[in-house]
Amino acid sequence: MTQTLYSENDLKKVVAELAAAIAADSCGRKLLLLGLLKGCQPFLADLCRELSRHQLVLEVEYLQVSSYVGTASSGQVTISQVLPDSLWPGCDVIVVDDIFDTGLTLKSVVAHLCEKGAEKVRTCVLLRKEGCSRVEMEPDYCGAVIPDAFIVGYGLDYNEQYRELPYIKILAEDEQN
Ligand code: IMP
Ligand code: MG
């Protein structure tokens, strides 16, 4: 049975709150939103639209990152794009991802950016799974905390399916194969 966790309306509210929090902390600074593909896509697009209501200078870039196989983290984070150094001077970077589960992805990406010379890096996730973290860091901005379940929709996939759903649901066992 399908269990919707966040409807389109719920998501709109959560994203608007995140944009307001980011804007309040970023006055006058140029922001580089760095989305982690592919899961960040609908969230990042909506976040940009919400941020456009606030007076900010924004740039958007992407990194391709992967760690999940089926419904479990492999624990191995692969970053398959290297950004040019010229992106960093004068920018506050905000790494944007769909969900913080073990936290290994965000931790690896932040370390990678610091190695590349980024001066200030913050992190923003739509959701965080309760009790799953395997790292000491916490995301700077988090839309909501959810129970430990495998979810899909709004960019989140199961073996590349379900990203197109405009809402987020828990993937039922009979939908996993
Ligand atoms: P972490 O490295 O364990 O924090 O996992 C982060 C990445 O795993 C996210 O960017 C997602 O791509 C993926 N992920 C974690 N939990 C889920 C889920 O419930 N559904 C779909 N993808 C997930
Ligand atoms: Mg991801």
Residue 109 lies in a domain: yes
Q: Are 46 and 16 in contact (CB under 8 A)?
A: no
Q: Each residue of 16-75: pLDDT tens digit?
A: 999 999 999 988 788 999 999 999 999 999 999 999 999 888 999 999 988 766 667 667
Q: Are 148 and 131 in contact (CB under 8 A)?
A: yes
Around ion ligand 2, residues with a beta carbon closer than 5 Å are 39
Residue 165 lies in a domain: no
Residue 57 lies in a domain: yes
148 included as an active-site residue: no
Residue 126 lies in a domain: yes
Q: Are 34 and 96 in contact (CB under 8 A)?
A: yes
Maximum mean pLDDT: which of 7-16, 28-37, 82-91: 7-16
User: What's the mean pLDDT in 3-22?
Assistant: 96
State the closest ligand 1 atom to the C-alpha of 99, by its place in the atom list counted from 1.
9
Range of the structural domain that residue 138 is part of: 7-147
Query: Is the pLDDT at 83 greater than 80, yes or no?
Result: no
In percent, the amount of the chain with pLDDT more than 90 equals 66
In percent, the amount of the chain with pLDDT more than 70 equals 92
Measured from the CB, is residue 153 less than 6 Å from ligand 1?
no
State how many domains the chain has.
Answer: 1
Residue 39 lies in a domain: yes
Residue 29 lies in a domain: yes
Which strands make up the sheet holding 141-146, listed edge to edge?
Answer: 72-79, 57-69, 30-37, 91-100, 120-129, 141-146
In this prediction, residue 79 carries a pLDDT of 84
Q: Each residue of 58-71: pLDDT tens digit?
A: 999 999 988 766 66
What CATH number is associated with residue 117? 3.40.50.2020
Q: Are 48 and 58 in contact (CB under 8 A)?
A: yes
Residue 75 lies in a domain: yes
Measured from the CB, is residue 139 less than 6 Å from ligand 1?
no
pTM score, two decimals? Answer: 0.93
Residue 171 lies in a domain: no
Query: Is the pLDDT at 90 greater than 90, yes or no?
Result: no
